[in-house]
Chains A and B, each alone.
Chain A
């Protein structure tokens, strides 16, 4: 075996190094130095992020007889996830200093890095075995992370719900894969695609397989009706975990979904899964919105909001081709910043006062104007209001979807657009509570931790800058179109 092919996996190796360093630091450093674990992890991860931007990283390469593939696109999506992870880790620093958490602080960072590693594999896998390994690596540690707040019952309940549904969904996914294997005799994406293409006709078994695979991966993306775990888990999990789940694992899932659907089942797009996806998108956006309308718990609220956002991300999958991929990546990037800004505020308030209900946010402007402002920017960005980045990402994802040109896609986009009205409604509810409500503020004035503010500044900069500074999207689109 040629071990040099490991060098194709530059980012994975980098991440493993980071993981090992954090692990060693956590294990062997004296106790007084452990206070800096979080910052060490953040620093190392930041280096890893920067490393991802080295030109050599984005060179195309494959390894293990094509089971693993890296190219500019995968490198880029991994970079996007890195950025998000850094922000999540910064946000987690304050939380990880809590008494109940502090003894297991190191583990948290290690688990995050591990799941990220799994996501790397999901993204780069071109063989279902590697994909499953990546998927499980990405989702099993999350269960432990969800259960991290041992002192809160919700955390346990969320973990149970998560692990049971996660395992069930991977069972469904693997069942689907076994059908695929039975039909095509291979687990390589390219070979499966070739076999399906060669087959020409479509069989019931293939349809079931496709549905199961969509279900299995859709679980990660929390597409309706595979989304039901989302709200409970988001609510129960510690806030940094929730934010991690809502952006990073969703982003990775979305990209993996795109790769699988197009590279494996591309041949049966219009036969098998185009309409499935249409139905899922409509359901996801609508049901996510309808549930989000009523939520009072901010984390649960953002859970449903993230469900409907996943629906918009899916529009990028339908578009596929250069524009769709770029729009999807851009959407994920913007979504990371917007959602993390929101979670940053939620986390800051939760850490300071323990309150997560929207009713408690009444009059936040009076006591904590900066937090309220950040939250408002996040909400506007999520709702797609210019000049914030969310507007651009929504616009581009719709534009890329419509590039397909069929009447059905116009209808689909129209439904999605009408749903933005509902989503605007509930995002504005938050703004209303913070800015307009005249009740006495519940949350007293407090100073958020330096780490929290730092993370929020990054997010605000992203929200404002990512859209107006066009080079981000232009660069993505250029990169995608040269890579494709």
Chain B
């Protein structure tokens, strides 16, 4: 079992859990958290290079490193693992954000040990989700990732944290209720197997059932992907969550939604996707514009970012529903890009909040003068968010737009143009924040005594910025990575063009 590299993505977090449980002081806790997440990052980078070399050597299975260990044999449930380029991208994203999140919670207070325990449990779920190709284990890890959220927000959060934590948990669980029904339905109508690859390759699900199961799974994952109108957990949840949790949640957890929508809803049920996409296109199209418009009038930094996440994640789902290679590639890029930059945003907001003790942009101003490093990072994050070339947002959005416009249907195109409008609205709210928060005269005299970023904060933000810029500058690398998932053979098998 341990000869498979993928299993270590679960083993390392579990080890971390164990070590955290016995660690005595802050130093040890930090050491465990940083070492563990570095190990995960190293592992995922190694996996990436190895994967690329395998592909270059001609490996052409849809998933590599596949392995399957029987678990609940009578129900055909296996602990089946396997990755393709998308999963690897997500794994890298997760480990980067876990690492930077650990740095961002360098001084977490109170109960640092428990905080990291829950955080690592959450990431266990995340990593497990991305390496699974068995619907059951996937769902299990999915739920493992959801629940620590409640305590992380409830205990370490701020504001009306009780309400937010409860709302977030219940809404996400509501989504997973639909999801569970959908998955069980897939099992029974998809040849009594939970294995994604088998179902997809055989296209085993009866089309009439697809029409029922597709909405179930799509909505189920869509709730986590902040699809309109199931997005309202996002603003409150993010606003109340502590920094690292916002980072992980917006950066990684929301990606579980998009990834799941692709991997389960569309990958397994292409016919229904083709038939029903329009419903969800309307919803996600609304998400994109609606989130952006809502963000324009918010005054709480986290709310702005949460609504911006609604808009950006809406774009992910939107692109996935276009059902063509380019748009889906864009969706994956957008997932990565949004994950990184929103984590960057939340890290910065957390750092600013830690200093000024307010997140209301009306009560701050001129921070560029006081904390130039943080402010510059914030501007960079903003630029990434509004799609400046050279940063990740641009390549992702452009790929999505070009891909979506490939769809010849007027309806799809009109919605594509509508989605394009979001780039203007995004610019509006990003510049509004940047202008109010960072530029202009210093609003509060007390802020003048605040300090700039500390070394761990710099580590956290710079690492993210480097990633954002790397994706933005060398996007072609993705093509290599994602190529095989969307290769014509696979699309032919699952019935897409």
Contacts and interface: CB of A to CB of B under 8 A. Distances in A.
The reply to whether A and B meet directly (CB within 8 Å) is yes
Interface of A: 380, 385-387, 391, 395-396, 398-399, 402-403, 405, 410, 413-414, 417-418, 420-421, 424-425, 428, 431-432, 435-436, 470, 473-474, 477-478, 481
Interface string B246-282: 0000000000000000000000000000000000000
Nearest to A326: B74
A431 B170 contact: no
10 contacts: A386-B141, A396-B75, A398-B184, A410-B212, A413-B181, A428-B150, A435-B155, A436-B162, A470-B77, A474-B73
B421 interface: no
Contacts of B455: none
A387 B79 CA distance: 14
Given A428-B150, A436-B151, A477-B75, 7 more contacts: A385-B147, A396-B72, A398-B181, A413-B181, A421-B177, A435-B155, A470-B72
A403 B188 contact: yes
Given A396-B75, A432-B162, A386 B177 contact: no
A290 to B, nearest CB: 15
A417 B136 CA distance: 16
Interface string B138-155: 001101100100110011
Contact of A395 (B162, B166, B170, B180): B180
Nearest to A467: B140
A470 B177 contact: no
B361 interface: no
B74 A477 contact: yes
A405 B188 contact: yes
A432 B185 contact: no
A474 B74 contact: yes
A371 to B, nearest CB: 16
Interface SS majority for chain B: helix
B310 to A, nearest CB: 22
B62 interface: no
Contact of A424 (B73, B144, B151, B169): B169
B151 A385 contact: no
B307 interface: no
B150 A431 contact: yes
A349 B162 CA distance: 25
A436 B156 CA distance: 9
B144 A387 contact: yes
A417 B177 contact: yes
Given A385-B143, A432-B162, A436-B154, A399 B74 contact: no
B151 A470 contact: no
Contact of A428 (B75, B166, B185): B166
Interface in B33-90: 71-75, 77
B155 A399 contact: no
B443 interface: no
B106 to A, nearest CB: 23
B77 to A, nearest CB: 8
B129 to A, nearest CB: 11
B178 interface: yes
A478 B181 CA distance: 25
A49 to B, nearest CB: 25
A417 B72 contact: no
A128 to B, nearest CB: 33
Nearest to A424: B173
Interface string B158-169: 000110011001
Contacts of B184: 395, 398-399, 402, 413
Given A421-B170, A481-B74, A435 B154 contact: yes
B151 A435 contact: yes
A428 B169 contact: yes
Contacts of A478: 74
Given A386-B140, A436-B151, A436-B162, A424 B181 contact: no
B228 interface: no
A391 B143 contact: yes
Contact of B181 (A385, A410, A425, A428): A410
Which 10 A-B residue pairs are closest in the complex by CB-CB distance?
Answer: A417-B177, A436-B154, A477-B74, A386-B140, A386-B143, A470-B71, A385-B147, A470-B72, A402-B184, A421-B174
